[in-house]
Each structure stands twice: as C-alpha cells, then as structure tokens.
C-alpha cells in the first residue's frame, strides 16, 4: 500500500446506492489510478442471491457495471438455462477496480493480489450487510479463496451448498429487526465464466454444462 492509500471505510445505513457513491472515490489501493472507475455491485437490495466474481474486466471498467463483457454474456446464458433471473440477483466482485498490464493498446487482465483483496474487502462486507443474502455464489478461485478458505479447490469442491457465515455477520446483522432476523446463509462455489471461455474447444461444452448444473443447485435451493 502506498502512502496515499486510504483504507476503505464504507458508511453505514446508506443502502447500496450510498455505498456505490462512497466506493466511487475509493483510494484503498493503487488500482484506481490506471482505471476508468470503481465497478460496484449491481442488483436489487432485495436480492436473495449474491454472485461474487474476481474483478471487473476491460469492458466492465469502461461501462462501470460488473459482468457485462464476454464472461458476463456467458454467465447470462448459464443463468437463464438454470432458471435464475439475473435481474433478481446481485452481482459483484471481490475487487472493484480492474487490475491489468498494458501491452500496446491492449489491457491484459492481471489477477488481483492479496493486498487488493484485503483493501477492497470492507466494500464486500458492507454489501453483505445490506443484502443479507440467502445464497452466495463464488465465481472462480479468487472469490472462493477470499470468502471460503485459501485452501479451497474449485475443481474438487464446486457445486456443493454448505452453510456459511458472511464475514463480520455478528456485527453486520446485529441491527436486523425481528422480521429479518439473521437467517442461515448458504455458499456454493463454481467455475468462473472466463475459465470456461479459456477452456479448449473440445472440453468447453462440458465445462459450460457443469456451470449450469451448479447454478441449478442454487436455483433449486431458492425455490
């Protein structure tokens, strides 16, 4: 963290719109410098399901919305096939700025480091505090390692729903009145849509079908 970085301090009681506004000026790590904007999560405050990806990509950075590039289009297709309406879900990322290296005119994705995940985490916790989701889906290893365990292996443990406590839930949910008293949150991790796009042709359909199968587990749990 350079000296100009200021730890993220999400305001409370402001809802998702207030958080989004506050996050627009985030300087908790250096990634804001080369990017267009903070890409905050998107979706209704009433969402029962939260998808957490890694970080915005090139198109997301330009448009200011998560999962609107090629990975987002694949996710949309898989959600529709699994019977999940994207409009009912909240979609966000573990890191809210695009990390990349410049190669000529192209911006090449770089995996965020632990320092970026740490710096951005207060925003994710604040999103969970507002949403109090019933199900959280980690899309890919970065989100799963950040939210489940550093030793989590997507290949071995994907597609399984298990009880999970959102980080900081003891204080985050403390203000809930009786009507929305804290409930059990469930977690499931699955492949990142970008990993499917990178899968060799001969194995891509199977990888995609496995993503849809995992999403059907979530749809079933919400039914």
- Nearest approach, Cβ of residue 198 and ligand URA (Å): 12
Residue 178: both structure tokens together: 């009786």
* C-beta of 51 vs 173, nearer to ligand URA: 51
* C-beta of 72 vs 133, nearer to ligand URA: 72
- Nearest approach, Cβ of residue 21 and ligand URA (Å): 19
85 Cβ neighbours under 8 A, 6+ residues apart = 79
Neighbouring CB atoms inside 10 A of 173's CB total 18
Which residues contact ligand URA (rule: CB under 6 A)?
Answer: 53-57, 60, 66-67, 69, 71-72, 93, 194
Neighbouring CB atoms inside 10 A of 204's CB total 13
Residue 27: both structure tokens together: 């300087």
- Nearest approach, Cβ of residue 155 and ligand URA (Å): 18
Q: Tell me how far apart the alpha carbons of residues 56 and 76 are, in angstroms, rounded to a whole number.
A: 16
**What is the bridge-based pairing of β-strands 162-164 and 106-109?**
unpaired
Site of tokens 């985050």:
172
* C-beta of 56 vs 133, nearer to ligand URA: 56
Determine the residue with CB nearest ligand URA.
53
* C-beta of 58 vs 125, nearer to ligand URA: 58
């Amino acid at each position: 963290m350079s000296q100009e970085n200021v730890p993220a301090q999400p305001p409370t009681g402001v809802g998702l719109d207030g958080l989004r506004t506050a996050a627009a000026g985030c300087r908790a790590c250096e990634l804001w410098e080369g990017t267009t904007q903070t890409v905050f999560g998107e979706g209704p405050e009433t969402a029962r399901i939260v998808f957490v990806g890694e970080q915005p990509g090139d198109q997301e950075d330009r448009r200011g919305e998560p999962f609107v590039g090629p990975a987002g289009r694949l996710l949309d297709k898989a959600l529709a096939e699994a019977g999940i309406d994207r409009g009912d879900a909240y979609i966000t990322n573990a890191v809210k700025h695009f990390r990349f290296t410049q190669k000529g005119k192209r911006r090449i994705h770089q995996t965020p480091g632990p320092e970026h995940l740490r710096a951005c985490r207060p925003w994710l916790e604040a999103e969970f505090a507002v949403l109090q989701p019933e199900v959280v889906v980690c899309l890919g290893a970065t989100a799963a390692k950040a939210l489940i365990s550093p030793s989590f292996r997507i290949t071995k443990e994907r597609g399984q729903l298990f009880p999970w406590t959102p980080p900081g839930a003891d204080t985050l949910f403390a203000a809930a009145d009786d009507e929305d008293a804290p409930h059990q949150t469930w977690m499931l991790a699955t492949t990142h849509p970008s990993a499917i796009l990178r899968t060799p042709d001969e194995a891509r359909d199977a990888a995609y079908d496995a993503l849809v199968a995992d999403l059907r587990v979530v749809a079933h749990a919400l039914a």
